[in-house]
Amino acid sequence: MSKSNELQQQINDYEAKLNDLRKQQELERKGERTQAITAAKELIKSHDLTASELGLSGKATAKRNSGDKRNVVAPKYQDPASGKTWTGRGKSPAWLSAQLANGHEKQEFLIQG
């Protein structure tokens, strides 16, 4: 066997060992995660905690906490026929464009309140 072949075999052996170690590490992480989930569930149950007390009150909260800095804007206009709404931001919806094309004015669709 040539020196080059020997070196390549050593590289292959080390890569196989590295892959085995990575698999072992991943299994350990999964085990630790499972233990953490079990411990958290026990704490939640024993202290009678709610999702909102833990800051887990819904998708909107999770989305906002994950870096979404957009503000939620209340609808400003509503289609009386379908009930669809529009905030007044961005491109006008098709229902409003159609009403404007028929001679109506945007102010007619303002939500009162």
Has residue 61 got a pLDDT over 60? no
With contact defined as beta carbons under 8 Å apart, do 109 and 96 qualify? yes
DSSP assignment letter at 105 = -
Give me the mean pLDDT over the 71-90 stretch: 91
Residue 1 is predicted with a pLDDT of: 74
* This prediction's pTM: 0.40
Has residue 64 got a pLDDT over 70? no
Say what percent of the chain tops pLDDT 70: 90
Q: How far is CA 32 from CA 22, 47, 59, 87, in A?
A: 15, 22, 26, 46
